[in-house]
Amino acid sequence: GAGVSQSPRYKVAKRGQDVALRCDPISGHVSLFWYQQALGQGPEFLTYFQNEAQLDKSGLPSDRFFAERPEGSVSTLKIQRTQQEDSAVYLCASSPLEGSNTGELFFGEGSRLTVL
Amino acid sequence: SQKIEQNSEALNIQEGKTATLTCNYTNYSPAYLQWYRQDPGRGPVFLLLIRENEKEKRKERLKVTFDTTLKQSLFHITASQPADSATYLCALDANQAGTALIFGKGTTLSVSS
């Protein structure tokens, strides 16, 4: 497809389960960002990749959150031992340029995680 | 502490009027500021980017200003239409490397016919 693709679109997990969320960025895009968006809030930055290198992970809320992009294209956000406060929409965005300061980010539709 | 504030959570205006949304920030020195539109259940969509050395930028019915002294950006939609109803997010770079784009909470605009 032409846009950023995220899967699954919806995920329900029981508290304590591990989840993995996938992001397929636009082909050839160098930069990839993950955001967490709680209901009624703006997206909160989690982490940034430039190709396969994770250059910024300052937004990851705890060591239960882990992201990877091993070949510089598809990325996976993993949340271990999920808790109710992890319930949110997880957004992935990509850009053909390095960083966010030279142009727009292209967002996917998000993965909505509900932790029971 | 660092903060981005958008003036109000909700703004209701009549069709044809100009909508003005405000984004204020503290303890950041952004090199640029971006505005996005987000519809319910969708990801944000880029609208405009304005750099610190640009006072104003326009795109069709949209206009953005950036005042680094006031630490404020204004986003205007002229001749508003019901189709403009959405949440509008401002975002700025948290560091010069551009590795973290930080968003405000958003303002939900409703345009009534």
Place A97 in a pLDDT band, splitting at 50, 70 and 90. Answer: confident
Do residue A100 and residue B89 have CB atoms under 8 angstroms apart?
no
Place A80 in a pLDDT band, splitting at 50, 70 and 90. Answer: very high
- Ordered per-residue pLDDT tens for chain B, 113 residues: 778 999 778 999 999 999 999 999 998 888 889 999 999 999 999 999 999 899 899 999 999 999 999 999 999 999 999 999 999 999 998 877 777 889 999 999 999 99
Cα angle A89, A46, A93 (rounded to 5 degrees) comes to: 65
Q: Give the tokens for residue A84.
A: 């109710």
Residue A1 predicted with pLDDT over 70: no
- Decide if A80 contacts A15 (C-beta within 8 A): no
B97 inside 8 A of chain A by CB: yes
A91 inside 8 A of chain B by CB: yes
A9 inside 8 A of chain B by CB: no
Enter the DSSP assignment of A69.
-
Mutation to test the B interface, candidates A101, A104, A105, A107, most B Cβ within 10 Å: A101
Number of Cα atoms under 13 Å in the Cβ half of residue B26: 5
